[in-house]
Amino acid sequence: MDNYSQLLAFIWSTECGSFSAAARAHNITPSAVSKLITRLEDRLQVRLFQRGSRVLTLTEEGAAYLRSAKAVVEAMNEADSLAEGLPSRVSGTLRIHTMTTFAKHQIVPWLAEFLDLYPSMDVEIQLGAQFVDHFEQGLDIAIHSGVLPSSSRIAKRIGECEWLICASPAYLAEQGTPTVPADLLNHRCFNFSFVSPWSKWVFVQDGEGVSVPVTPSASFTQGDLLRDMALSGAGVVKLADFHIGADVRAGTLVPLLEDFKSGIVEPVYLLYSDRRHLSPRIRVFIEFFQEKWRQNPWKVT
């Protein structure tokens, strides 16, 4: 426990601004705090504080070590809470990166339930169409679909999604229903504005893969805007089933060219840092999210 006490003394001293203030705040003697800090520096073979100054100032090494020390203490506290059977005491900020549409349709609907289970936690959701490895800046989890990015992180496959070509009944009544992939060239289509596997419209016809070079009448960076265009009767779009499954079941969007589906599905991954001991706040979210994903309330078939 001496190593743990050293970490606490180090963190307390930085938070309180001096060894004596840390001692008063935690009902121990200043000499005890000083000894713990000295042992910590001797063990690490590095100076954590600038000496010879009235103001307690961290060295560059001390500032870097502080982040790790806080993470260790937080993880130990959360682990104790779990071991005691008190999941509501799991605490801390959980930082998640995912796509805007995924967050809206697959995280936000369940977020209040998760926070009710873990009221001492708070969640920060970072949005972006492409995966960005921000783990070194404190990111805990990334949710990514499709081809895995180049990353040293652990990738846990939690399921898969399928992309659907669809339009509204009103649009099809006015413009007709495409019966073969090439018919799409005569329809108003909308697509993503960035090049990705999502922006390619691929089918299987006569046993061969066919890519239709759709020229979008308008393009967007956000899938929700594509969905809005389709629901308004403006044209044809390609979106993931987790995004429009409820619309298809409600009949407000109609899947097209079902006989020519490529059958290609995209895996969905949770990515997190390669740590021997996963933080309890990350673990409880992974378990919660996996259970919600298994329920698949958005699946079309």
For residue 125, how many C-alpha atoms fall within 13 Å in the half-sphere facing its CB?
Answer: 14
Do residues 62 and 12 both lie within one domain? yes
Compute the distance between CA of residue 159 and CA of residue 268 in angstroms, rounded to an integer: 5
Do residues 187 and 102 both lie within one domain? no
Percentage of residues in the chain having pLDDT higher than 90 = 31
State residue 2's pLDDT score. Answer: 74
Do residues 131 and 275 both lie within one domain? yes
Compute the distance between CA of residue 41 and CA of residue 51 in angstroms, rounded to an integer: 13
Q: What is the pLDDT of residues 231-260, one digit of tens each?
A: 999 999 999 888 898 899 999 999 999 999
Confidence of residue 263 (pLDDT cuts 50, 70, 90): low
What average pLDDT does the segment 31-37 reach?
A: 90
State residue 300's pLDDT score. Answer: 61
Is the residue at 285 inside a domain? yes
Confidence of residue 150 (pLDDT cuts 50, 70, 90): low
Q: What is the pLDDT of residues 137-149, one digit of tens each?
A: 678 898 888 777 6
What average pLDDT does the segment 209-220 reach?
A: 90
How many beta carbons lie within 10 A of that of residue 69, not counting itself? 19
Mean pLDDT of all residues belonging to the chain: 84
Confidence of residue 179 (pLDDT cuts 50, 70, 90): very high
Do residues 125 and 260 both lie within one domain? no
Residue type, 210: V
For residue 2, CA distances in Å to 6, 7, 11, 78, 146 come to: 6, 9, 14, 19, 46
The CATH number of the domain holding residue 70 is: 1.10.10.10
- Among 83, 115, 136, the domain boundary falls at 83
Is the residue at 130 inside a domain? yes
Q: What is the domain count for the chain?
A: 3
Model-level pTM?
0.63
Paired tokens of 238: 């390609």
Residues spanned by the domain of 209: 162-264
Do residues 210 and 280 both lie within one domain? no
Do residues 275 and 152 both lie within one domain? yes
Do residues 218 and 150 both lie within one domain? no
Confidence of residue 85 (pLDDT cuts 50, 70, 90): low
Whether the pLDDT of residue 88 is over 60: the answer is no
Do residues 64 and 104 both lie within one domain? no
User: Tokens 């108003």 sit at which residue?
Assistant: 188
11 exposure class (CB count in 10 Å sphere: 0-12, 13-18, 19+): middle
Return the exposure string of 255-281: e unless at least 16 CB atoms fall within 10 Å of the residue's CB, then b: bbbeebbeeeebebbbbbeeeeebbbb
Whether the pLDDT of residue 31 is over 70: the answer is yes
User: Tokens 């103001």 sit at which residue?
Assistant: 55
Confidence of residue 152 (pLDDT cuts 50, 70, 90): low
Q: What is the pLDDT of residues 180-195, one digit of tens each?
A: 999 999 999 999 887 6
